[in-house]
């Protein structure tokens, strides 16, 4: 694992200010994403909480993740189903040190009829303000029981990849942020498009849900809506279009 030295971390903290970018820079970023998905293309242009600065500072992180819209309590297992694929997401008791930050490890396994098609370890951490950062993933794809790829894998601080934000401390409609910033590998972006949505999934009905739109310049035109419930996290993912899907929360096991 490549961990930066403290002097380098200090420089990183000073340069990863993700608000207040110039109008020209914003316009340049907008031209690289899908229509109607006006989110920033790089972490340096991320906006949060009505324009407030969102800075990655490894010295200002807390232990664990308890953001209301993205709680990660170790031992929690959430299961989703889209009609074909089953997605089992487990918040483990494991941690990983990335860029001087102790990240929570989440194990995400996708399967079809009991056969694993993707096995991923994701790394998350929360800063003192309550923003949840995404520090990368180790993802492996399988076909007929054989590993066929590692698409989407990256680690913040390695090969130019930066930490992104998966959930803001106080998300508001219009906020836009880079979730992944690994050029050419993983560049998901999100924008908050609605609040107070009511979502019904097999597990339960949730009021006051947050709705976001995700896009990526790596797949122009691709869009996905995600819905988050307080105290739970992601409850539904919707990919619009004729080949779209609805991935819904069907079960939650708490420690």
Indicate whether 121 belongs to any domain. Answer: yes
Single out the residue of 215, 213, 52 nearest to residue 131, CA to CA: 52
What are the tens digits of pLDDT across the range 87-140? 999 999 999 999 999 999 999 999 999 999 999 999 999 999 999 999 999 999
Indicate whether 202 belongs to any domain. Answer: yes
Name residue 229's beta-bridge partners: 233
Q: How far apart are CA 229 and CA 75, in angstroms?
A: 19
- Please give the pLDDT value at position 5: 32
Quickly count helices (H) and strands (E) in the chain.
2, 14
Q: How far apart are CA 186 and CA 165, in angstroms?
A: 13
Domain that holds residue 44: 6-253
What are the tens digits of pLDDT across the range 57-83? 999 999 999 999 999 999 999 999 999
Rounded mean pLDDT, 235-239: 96
Indicate whether 1 belongs to any domain. Answer: no
Q: How far apart are CA 161 and CA 12, in angstroms?
A: 12
The tokens describing 233, both together, are 């996290």
Indicate whether 61 belongs to any domain. Answer: yes
The answer to whether residues 50 and 187 touch, using CB atoms and an 8 Å cutoff, is no
Rounded mean pLDDT, 40-69: 72
Indicate whether 88 belongs to any domain. Answer: yes
Main-chain phi, psi angles of 96, to 5 degrees: -140, 130
Confidence of residue 52 (pLDDT cuts 50, 70, 90): low
Q: Is the per-residue pLDDT at 212 higher than 50?
A: yes
Indicate whether 128 belongs to any domain. Answer: yes
Based on the number of CB atoms within 10 Å of its own CB, is 153 exposed (0-12), middle (13-18) or buried (19 or more)?
middle
Indicate whether 155 belongs to any domain. Answer: yes
Whole-model pTM: value is: 0.81
- Please give the pLDDT value at position 30: 24
Q: Is the per-residue pLDDT at 9 higher than 80?
A: no
Q: What is the CATH number of the domain that holds 92?
A: 2.40.360
Q: E strands along the chain, which residues?
A: 77-81, 86-98, 101-112, 115-126, 132-143, 146-149, 154-155, 164-167, 176-178, 189-200, 205-215, 224-229, 233-239, 245-253
Indicate whether 41 belongs to any domain. Answer: yes
What are the tens digits of pLDDT across the range 136-194? 999 999 999 999 999 999 999 999 999 999 999 999 999 999 999 988 998 999 999 99
- Please give the pLDDT value at position 12: 35
Q: How far apart are CA 215 and CA 32, in angstroms?
A: 10
Domain tally, the chain = 1
85-110 burial code (b ≥16 CB/10 A, e <16): ebbbbbbeeebbebbbbebbbbebeb
């Amino acid at each position: 694992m490549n961990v930066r030295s403290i002097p380098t971390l200090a420089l990183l903290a000073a340069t990863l200010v993700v608000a207040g970018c110039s109008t020209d820079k914003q316009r340049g970023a907008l031209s690289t994403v899908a229509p109607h998905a006006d989110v920033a293309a790089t972490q340096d242009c991320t906006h949060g909480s009505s324009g407030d600065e969102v800075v990655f500072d490894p010295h200002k992180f807390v232990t664990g993740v308890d953001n209301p819209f993205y709680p990660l309590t170790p031992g929690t297992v959430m299961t989703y189903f889209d009609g074909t694929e089953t997605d089992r997401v487990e918040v483990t008791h494991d941690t990983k040190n990335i860029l001087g930050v102790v990240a929570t490890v989440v194990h995400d396994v996708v399967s079809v009829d009991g056969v694993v098609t993707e096995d991923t370890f994701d790394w998350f951490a929360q800063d003192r303000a309550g923003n949840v950062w995404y520090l990368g993933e180790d993802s492996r794809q399988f076909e007929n029981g054989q590993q066929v790829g590692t698409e989407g894998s990256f680690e913040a601080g390695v090969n130019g990849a930066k930490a992104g934000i998966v959930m803001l401390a106080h998300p508001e409609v219009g906020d836009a942020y880079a979730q992944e910033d690994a050029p050419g590998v993983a560049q998901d972006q999100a924008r908050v498009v609605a609040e107070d949505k009511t979502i019904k999934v097999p597990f339960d009905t949730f009021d006051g849900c947050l709705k976001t739109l995700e896009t990526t310049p790596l797949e122009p035109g691709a869009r996905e809506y995600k819905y988050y419930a307080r105290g739970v996290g992601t409850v539904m993912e919707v990919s619009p279009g004729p080949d779209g899907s609805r991935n819904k929360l069907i079960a939650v096991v708490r420690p």
